[in-house]
Amino acid sequence: MFGIGMPELLLILAVALIVIGPKKLPDLARSLGRAMGEFKKATAELKESIQIDSELKDVKQAFDEMNAPGPKQQASTQAVETHDARPEGDTPAPSTAAGGPGEADPQTTPKEAPKDA
């Protein structure tokens, strides 16, 4: 128990009886017992939570290993990532928004019909 033997325990109880008094000593002992019980309960819950977390970590690692792409899957994944999604001949329109003053973006400005008068 913390290295306290019987003579030390009797001495502590005697001092507590003198300092606290015989009327309040049972209440103090009861409160101390409840506090120790709550402490043990909280410690057990913490240990259980840590154990559950470690088990979930192991399960997650197993799923990650199962879902890890193999050599063939890695090659096909890289090919898909480098492939351009636009069809042939479909190039993006050049942006003139960064041009000089007076230049307008042809995508946002409506085109006017030329006037032949």
In whole angstroms, give the CA distance from residue 36 to residue 31: 9
Predicted confidence band of residue 63 (pLDDT cuts 50, 70, 90): confident
Phi-psi region of 83 (alpha: psi -120 to 50; beta: other; left: phi over 0): beta
Token couple for 41: 């309960």
Q: Which residue has the higher pLDDT, 67 or 102?
A: 67
Mean pLDDT of the chain: 76
For the cut 80, the answer to whether the pLDDT of residue 91 exceeds it is no
Q: Give the pLDDT score at 80.
A: 52
pLDDT higher than threshold 70 for residue 36: yes
Lowest average pLDDT, out of 8-17, 40-49, 84-93, goes to 84-93
Write down the pTM of the prediction.
Answer: 0.41
Name the DSSP class of 112.
Answer: P
Task: Report which of 33, 9, 27 is spatially closest to residue 1, judged by C-alpha positions.
Answer: 9
Domain ranges of the chain: 21-65
Q: What is the mean pLDDT of residues 48-53?
A: 92
What token pair was written down for 76? 């096909």
